[in-house]
A and B are shown apart, each in its own frame.
Chain A
Amino acid sequence: MDFTDTQEEAQFRQKARAWLNANASRSTDTTNKFKVGGGDDAEALREAKSWQARKADAGWVGIHWPKAFGGRELPPSYTVIYRMEETNYLVPRGYFEIGLGMCAPVMMSYATAGQVKQYLPRMMRGENVWCQLFSEPSAGSDVAGIRTSARRDGDEWVINGQKVWTSGAHFSDFGILVARHDTTLPKHKGLTFFFLDMKSRGIEIRRIKSIPGRSNFCEVFFDNVRIPDAQRLGDVGQGWQVAVTTLMHERLAVGQASGTNFEDIFALVRELELDGKPAIKDSLVRDKLADWYVRDKGLQYGQYRMLTKISRGEMPGPEASVTKVVSAVQVQQVSSFAMELMDVAGIIDDPRLSPQSAAFQLSFLASPGYRIAGGSDEILRNIIAERVLGMPGDIRVDKDLPYNQLPTGAR
């Protein structure tokens, strides 16, 4: 029971830290910590791409990928070690995670050698940004219920429909897409998977304004968009299995929701006064602080346990869902309570007037999204119950019916 890296891991961590020290600044104060990546201006995108190129050239991208795909073929634990180190630095975030975390593994598994060679190096260096086109207006948690259609036409497929919540579609060059090729089959069986050029004719992208205002979410409309059959990933009808393997690759990611957490509110209550005494002496404050500290540390030590497993060559299982369920709701609770401590001034979200540059107010407005994106609280609880505890699946009314006979409510 210790936290000691093996000699090789320690050397790797040292090198990662040294490189990060030389190439990025540490995220010590709250103000800078919440400068979110994925900003909407071209300048931020250029900066991110330049960062990604330097990072890839230095060997910090594709750390555990096979050498044949441009990786270093180190054990997956090294990827986790690098990520643990990188979280302490201010680096562009929100541009390449989906491409490298989900699109790349699916390309490695299902694309031709020629395609991998053509697309992966540019993805690694950030020259191309990739997005993931799964969710639709009527298929969020029930992603197998998508309607976007794929009709075969010779050597091509013709795509019609609409995707939604596509992060970064507006600055993406390529995307992975799941679409329905046959509505007479049961929902999971009529799906086929593709990758496509986001600049294809017939694609229209609209930004979505979310509660905090700015966001990188988009709606993507397909109007007779043509995809060569050579860009199909997996067999016709295998789309669901391909999508599921894509989602499993995300388990290596830390999965922690960003936003104000224990250390931010701990700093706040040490400065703030309540009823003429330091806020940290207030019993309600102490009660909540203790809960949040224990959960925060529980997740941190849980990461150490996961890394231990990965170091032994095991892959993290569905229990990795715990991190997101706990951290997303905690960001919401922490931010909401911090605002309460500011009394009526808690409503002020002007960074010049509110403590910690209004980070709590921003987190309050952004946190509902964390509880939904990447698997809602409810879906993740189902996953824990069914795949970890082995509880029986819900009785399904949709599984074996042809898709075009499913009840849908008002369309």
Chain B
Amino acid sequence: MNFDFSEEQKMLRAVARKFLKENCSPGVVRRMLDGDAPYDEKLWKGICELDWPGTAVPESYGGIGYGYLELCVLAEELGRVIAPIPFSSSAYMAAEALHIAGNERQRKKYLPRLASGEAIGTCALAEGVTIGAHWHMETIVRDGKLHGTNAPVADGCVADLLIVAARSSAASGVLKLYVVEPSEKGITRETIQTIDPTRPHARVTFDAVAAEPLGSGESHERLIEKLKDRAAVLLAFEQLGGADAALEMATEYAKSRYAFGRPIGSFQAIKHKLADAFIRNELARSNCYFAAWALSSDAEELPIAAASARIAATEAFEYIAAENIQTHGGIGFTWESDCQLFYRRSKLLALTLGSVRSWKNRLIDQLECQASVKPELAGVD
């Protein structure tokens, strides 16, 4: 049994943690809150020099071809420091979409630029509150031209490459992924106000924009689900990292803050709250490890593993992000306190790729499906 990251992967973690400690302090994240920059350029340049965006991209497409376990390690570390960079959009979403749905020419054309970080990519899969989930999407491609509005699109204003989900009017409305270059005529992009300005999102309007379907033009309904499952694992690791860092922050404060003549961490009301956070983080970590295994080995358990990791990690991060503020008391509610960074990021990540409610439904659908195929294994891996 070796249900853990390898020594090499742990070394990668140590290097990443050191680099991020030096280059992504809370002050760097706060600059994003107080300013208008779309991401922290210095940090992005730094991680590109370390080849992080190409971690899981095969060498034949310009990546360094490590693999997904290494990408999970980096995701956790980036999550710990609430990194204000378009890493997830580019590495978990756009590169993955090209990887699983693109044809050879498209991969050769775009993946090396994404792997080096020279280009930033993102996926546009949502159409805003009123319209909802992507299977009702109204974005459509008519005569090779894209029409519609997408929001929120992570890093939509800075992306050099957009992967857009749209219905194809030619193919009787099947859902496909299209690649769009923002330099094309007819695109309008504007930053929208969100709960977490450290990761800006955009509203992107397409008015007869030239778009090329990924792959050979088949339906991507299932591939989009697969894309979401794969990205969910990586986002779960970001959440796990954030949850651990928030718990450390709360614990440190509880040890050093005195009230009633004693450290507040000596009160059981605080201890039990933080012990509960530790329990949630442990359950999330174990589920995340299983999902990392499923992602890296392309296992058929991936949909169940991804949903489980996503649910556990979301609940862990949301819990401690809120209770970290509570542990700090009034100071935790101020703009000056870094508590808000975790609070904002936890909710952003909780809703990225769909709510916990939707992931729970996906999980139970999968378990029902598994149980009807293998009744003797109901509920068992």
**Which A residues are within 8 Å of any B CB, using their own CB?**
1-5, 9, 28, 77, 262-263, 266-267, 270, 280, 286-287, 289-291, 293-295, 297-302, 304-305, 307-309, 311, 319, 322, 325-326, 378, 380-382, 384-386, 388-395
Contact = CB atoms under 8 A, between A and B. Distances in A.
A299 B286 contact: yes
Contacts of A263: 378-380
B266 to A, nearest CB: 4
23 contacts: A1-B293, A4-B2, A263-B380, A290-B360, A290-B363, A293-B308, A293-B363, A293-B379, A294-B283, A295-B312, A297-B286, A298-B282, A298-B283, A298-B284, A301-B286, A304-B1, A304-B286, A305-B285, A309-B4, A322-B282, A385-B274, A392-B266, A394-B266
Contacts of A297: 286-287, 290, 308, 381
Contacts, number: 165
B49 to A, nearest CB: 27
Contacts of B283: 294-295, 298-299, 302, 322, 326
A307 B3 CA distance: 8
Interface string B269-282: 01110111011001
Contacts of A287: 357, 360
Contacts of B266: 391-395
A289 B364 contact: yes
B234 to A, nearest CB: 14
Given A267-B378, A301-B290, A391-B265, 20 more contacts: A1-B4, A1-B69, A266-B371, A270-B368, A270-B371, A294-B308, A294-B363, A297-B286, A297-B381, A298-B312, A301-B289, A378-B268, A382-B275, A385-B274, A388-B278, A389-B275, A391-B263, A391-B270, A391-B271, A394-B267
A308 B254 contact: no
Contacts of A385: 265, 271-272, 274-275, 278
Contacts of B19: none
A305 B3 contact: yes
A9 B268 contact: no
B337 interface: no
A319 B2 contact: no
B275 A394 contact: no
Interface of chain A, main secondary structure? helix
Interface residues of B, number: 55
B367 interface: yes
B311 interface: yes
Contacts of A395: 262, 266
Interface of chain B, main secondary structure? helix
B248 to A, nearest CB: 9
B251 interface: yes
Interface in B4-21: 4-6
Max chain B Cβ within 10 angstroms of own Cβ: one of A1, A389, A390: A1
B255 interface: yes
Contacts of A9: 1
B129 to A, nearest CB: 20
Contacts of A290: 307, 311, 359-360, 363-364
Max chain A Cβ within 10 angstroms of own Cβ: one of B276, B287, B371, B380: B287
Given A290-B363, A385-B271, A385-B272, A266 B282 contact: no
A378 B273 CA distance: 11
B3 A326 contact: no
Contacts of B255: 390-392
Given A301-B290, A392-B263, A280 B364 contact: yes
Contact of B282 (A2, A270, A302): A302
B274 A391 contact: yes
B3 to A, nearest CB: 4
B60 interface: no
B321 interface: no
Interface string B249-264: 0010011000000110
B296 interface: yes
B2 A322 contact: no
Nearest to B9: A1
A4 B2 CA distance: 7
Nearest to B247: A389
A388 to B, nearest CB: 6
A323 to B, nearest CB: 10
B1 A77 contact: yes
B292 interface: yes
B361 interface: yes
A290 B359 CA distance: 9
A75 B308 CA distance: 32
A302 B3 CA distance: 9
A394 B378 contact: no
Nearest to A389: B251
A289 B255 CA distance: 37
Contacts of B276: 381
B286 A302 contact: yes
B272 A378 contact: yes
